A = this chain, B = another copy of it.
Amino acid sequence: MSLSQVLADFVVKTQYTDIPDHSLTVVQASLLDYCACAIAGQNESVAVALRGMLNAEGGAAVAVVFGQTEKLPPRAAAMINGACAHAIDYDDTHFDYIGHTSVAVFPAAIAMAERVGASGKAFLTAAQIGLEVACRVGAYMGRSHYEAGFHQTATSGSFGAAAAVAKLLGLNSLQCQYMFGLLSSRASGLKNQFGSMGKPYNAGMAASNGVEVALLVSHGMDSVENGLETDFVASHHGEANDQALASLGSEYRFDYISHKFHACCHGTHAALEALIGLRQDYDLRPEQIKHIQVKVHSRWLKVCDLPAPTSGLQAKFSYRMVLAMVMQGLNTGDPLAYTDHLHKQAGLQESMAQITVSGDEKLHDTQVEVGVTLSDGRVLHKAYDCGVILPMTLLMDKLTTKAQVLVGAEAAARISAQIADLAYAKRFQLTLDS
């Protein structure tokens, strides 16, 4: 069977009961995180521009939209909601393909679940299928695709978005192949948008493209049956990694999604977790510290080791700044903490002066070692590995805390309750007016 056929059959045949409880919990946790990120990003300039264009278009009030009470058609809602959730770059990442998965798939699944009146279980099944297909297609396209300049969030993400929509529309296997065939021509997105509004737009494009091609096929459109594994992978510098489909349907790669708990560069997160752990374990205060030594894989030194940041954005790419924030009791999980005046805040420069960062090739790029030398001569050590999956209750706790910071306790509780109810809801609904 061709790759497109295998993926199409996975979409068509997978049922709610086929998906392990653990995987469904990861989906629900990620949905909470997606909503919190989207609400936090809903007033960013990119969201304003997209709502401006798409509200002027108007159309059937079918699908919920972040940042306004008026609903819009599914393609439009998916585009806005994908961009909102990626606007502050605080959403989840999957390292199988270096893509942001949730921001491409959830907006498409949400928009279409509303339109077809799906049950909560049907929505969760479709979302899980979509997330899984995004991961698998991303792994199939591989690192060469990414290195050539493509933004996997947008390219592979659109295949996941389409898969979720296809499940909700009840497309058959051949229709799914046509849909992937259309995407081989429609999917796009480059990393050159990083640093501009084009980056979150890429996420919105993925979600919208997924809705578009699935709907077109449901309206009778055809295409080639094997576009992904022939011309798309060849023309888009893909690896055509056939191992990408190993254990499809029995193992869920989306389980290995990585959520962000700090509103700064992912490369700093292991160091932050290690220092936060030490600070909590030993109740450390700034005046006790003599020196903090951080060892990371040297690739990160080129990414997030700015020595003296002078803006909020620069602060997010500075080990010394974000670690100093921890010592000064600032919340690195709050995007609003990264102001342009942050570097002038009392105590921060003093804490920064105590921190040394060095590269260590023996570490994996998800690992870090932190050593803290105290004024009393004691030396404390802690290692941390971001690649290790968190226990589910800890993950939920951390994501709930993050959501509370991003949208407030009340809204976080309201969204959490809706997500918890999804598996029992006769009809999918998500109320976002917060």
List the B side residues contacting A189 at CB < 8 Å: 185-186
Q: Is the CB of B197 within 8 A of A221?
A: yes
Interface-lining segment among A222-230, A256-264, A309-317, A327-335: A222-230
One digit per residue, 1 when the CB lies within 8 angstroms of any chain B CB and 0 when it does not, for chain A 167-196 equals: 000000000000001101111111111011
Instruction: Identify the closest chain B residue to A185 (Cβ).
Output: B190
List the B side residues contacting A394 at CB < 8 Å: none
Give CA–CA (A59, B73) in the complex, Å: 9
A100 touches B (CB below 8 Å): no
Q: Is the CB of A188 within 8 A of B191?
A: no
Q: Is the CB of A231 within 8 A of B196?
A: no
Question: With A221-B197, A224-B192 in contact, do A150 and B53 touch (Cβ < 8 Å)?
Answer: no
Instruction: Identify the closest chain B residue to A193 (Cβ).
Output: B185
CB distance from A182 to the nearest CB of B (A): 6
Q: Is the CB of B196 within 8 A of A224?
A: yes
Question: With A190-B231, A216-B53 in contact, do A221 and B185 touch (Cβ < 8 Å)?
Answer: no
A346 touches B (CB below 8 Å): no
List the B side residues contacting A57 at CB < 8 Å: 59-60, 73-76
Q: Is the CB of B60 within 8 A of A190?
A: no
Question: With A58-B59, A60-B58 in contact, do A198 and B224 touch (Cβ < 8 Å)?
Answer: yes
- Interface of chain A residues 229 through 269 with chain B (CB within 8 A): 230-232, 234-237
A369 touches B (CB below 8 Å): no
Instruction: Identify the closest chain B residue to A149 (Cβ).
Output: B235
One digit per residue, 1 when the CB lies within 8 angstroms of any chain B CB and 0 when it does not, for chain A 44-72 equals: 01101110110011111000000000000
A: residues with CB less than 8 A from B are 45-46, 48-50, 52-53, 56-60, 73-76, 148-151, 154, 181-182, 184-193, 195-198, 201-202, 205, 212, 215-216, 219-224, 227, 230-232, 234-237
A-B contact pairs, 14 of them (CB 8 A): A45-B222, A50-B221, A57-B75, A149-B231, A181-B192, A181-B198, A184-B192, A185-B192, A185-B202, A190-B227, A190-B231, A191-B231, A192-B231, A193-B224
